[in-house]
Amino acid sequence: MDIVDGRATKKVVIDPGHGGVDPGTSANGIVEKDYTLMISKYMADRLNELGIENSLTRDSDVTLDSTNRPKKAQSFYGKGNDVIMVSNHINAGGGDSHCVVN
C-alpha cells in the first residue's frame, strides 16, 4: 500500500467496458465502448493528479474477451487486497420490464 500526503492508498485498475468488435449498447449516435473509454481515461488522469497509482485495461479501441480481460486486469498489480477494480459500463434502460421489484 502506498502513502500519499499521509494517507494510505490502493492501486486502481480501471476497465473501460466493451471495445473493439464489442460495441456494447448504442443509440442516438452514442456507442457505449467509446464513452466508457472516455470516462475511464478521465478517471485515470484524475487519479494521476492525486498521485494514486492506476492502470487501464485498454486505452484504445481493442477487443478484450471474457478470458483476457481479467488476466489483463490482474497483470498490473496482482490479486491482492491493495487493488481496487472499477469496470465502467453505460447500461441501456427501458420501461418497467427491465426493473424487478420484490
Q: Please give the pLDDT value at position 4.
A: 63
pLDDT at 98 exceeding the cut of 60 = no
Q: For the chain, first and last CA: distance in Å? A: 41
- Measure Cα distances from 3 to 11, 18, 85 in Å: 11, 33, 19
- Measure Cα distances from 34 to 10, 75, 77, 78 in Å: 27, 23, 25, 27
Give the pLDDT mean for 71-93: 90
Q: Name all domains of the chain by residue range, CATH numbers in brackets.
A: 2-92 (3.40.630.40)
Q: Please give the pLDDT value at position 84.
A: 93
Q: Please give the pLDDT value at position 27.
A: 87
Summarised one tens digit per residue, pLDDT across range 1-54 is: 566 666 666 899 999 999 999 999 998 889 999 999 999 999 999 999 999 999
pLDDT at 95 exceeding the cut of 70 = no
